[in-house]
Structures are given as C-alpha cells and as structure tokens.
Amino acid sequence: MSTVTPQAIKDSLKQCMDPEVPLNIVEMGLIYGIDVVENNNVNIKMTMTTQGCPLHETLVQDVTRYAKKVPGVNNVKVDIVWEPKWTMDSMTEEGKAKIKNMSASMTTPAPINYETALPQGVGKLVKQEDGSMVLANEHEQGFMVNQAIVDFWKSCNGQRKVTELVEIFAQQTGLQRNQVEKEVMQLLQQLREGGLIAIQNQPDTPNVQFKK
C-alpha cells in the first residue's frame, strides 16, 4: 500500500481553485488540517471565506476529488468548520503577494444600474473530465461554478433587466424574491469582474489579473 502523506494531499489540493478569487484554496488558507489515518483514509478540516457561500457543496466535492487523486488514498472525509474564523491573515504569503499584485492593477467597474442594465453572459461553459463545471472568459481563465450559477449565467441573455433576473433566480432556487435580490447583485458583480458578464453602454474592466 502506498504511503500517503499530508503534504501529498496538500500539493494535490493546490489544483483546487477558490470559486470567488483566482487563487487555489491552499493559498487562500482555507485548509485548516489534513490527517492521514488507518487504511490511508484522509480527514480534511477546512473553512469557507463566508458562511453564505453558494458553492459550499461544490467546493467540498472538489476537495474530495483532488484528495482522491493522490495514489493510495482510500476514503476522504471533509469537515467544514467556522472557528477560527477565516481572515485575510489566514492566506499564505504567496497568496497575499498575488492579491497585492491584483489590487495594484485593479479598476473597479461602474456600479450596475438595477433599472436599466441588460446583463449579457459571455465566455463559455467547460465541463472538466472529473465532472466539475467551469465558466471560462475570453482570457481562458476559468471559475468553478455549480449548476445554479450556470443557469443564472445562461438567463443573462442581454434582453432581461436585473429585476427579471431576480425573479428567474428566485424561481430556480425556490426562494422569495426579497431573499435573493442581494445575492443576485453580488453574483452579477462577481461574474462581471471575472469577465463573464457584459453590460451594454458600460465599460467593463475585469478586476483580476488574467494569465497571458
């Protein structure tokens, strides 16, 4: 039986990207502990940047998948914990340096006008070999997404106002309109900053540093 080490698991998890920031989850400091126990079973303790993260389940699935890519790994158990609370200080020095470089070249797009904006989804949907879904922008930078976000991105057809998109998202998630308005605005902003949403008559300058 192959000897599995916490470092081998950690190295594999560096391929798992944070869904909201173009850094991997190790650089983000989301992994709090890795234990290899009997029969090469692996227990991973991790956190999220926010408790309301819509990609909670997707991220757990991806962490499990990447951990199992290490030869010899048997079962993987992922526990989400909220203590100690994640802060920017939790990030690795490499992660902090990357964020600093991004901030230096960041230009914040103009706020989205709730009444007049007609968001248009751009980019493409890519299904990975392991089953995970990624939205890729024109710079070929990918962002891990779940089905709910894919459906929302597709509903942004350049003809619907934000109010209509809120209504559609509420129907898709089974929530009340007033429960999803804030989430829709945040999601639109994140997709726009990632180069996955375009809004006519408003210049779009992505606030992430794309790989050449």
Task: Give the CA dihedral 209, 137, 87, 16, nearest 10 degrees.
Answer: -110
Angle at 77 between CA 72 and CA 83, to 5 degrees: 130
Query: Does this chain's domain 6-87 share its CATH topology with 119-199?
Result: no
pLDDT digits (tens, 9 = 90+) for 111-157: 777 678 889 999 999 887 777 788 888 877 778 788 888 888 999 99
48: exposed, middle or buried (Cβ count in 10 Å: 0-12, 13-18, 19+): buried
pLDDT digits (tens, 9 = 90+) for 151-198: 889 999 999 988 899 888 888 878 888 878 888 888 888 888 888 888
The CATH code for residues 6-87 is 3.30.300.130
Its pTM stands at: 0.53
Which token pair is 125?
């949907």
Question: What distance lies between CA 36 and its chain's CA centroid?
Answer: 27
The dihedral through the CA atoms of 13, 18, 22, 25 has a sign that is: negative
Topology of domain 119-199, per CATH?
A: Arc Repressor Mutant, subunit A (1.10.10)
Q: Which helix (H) or strand (E) segment is 172 a member of? A: helix 162-173
| Domain range list for the chain | 6-87, 119-199
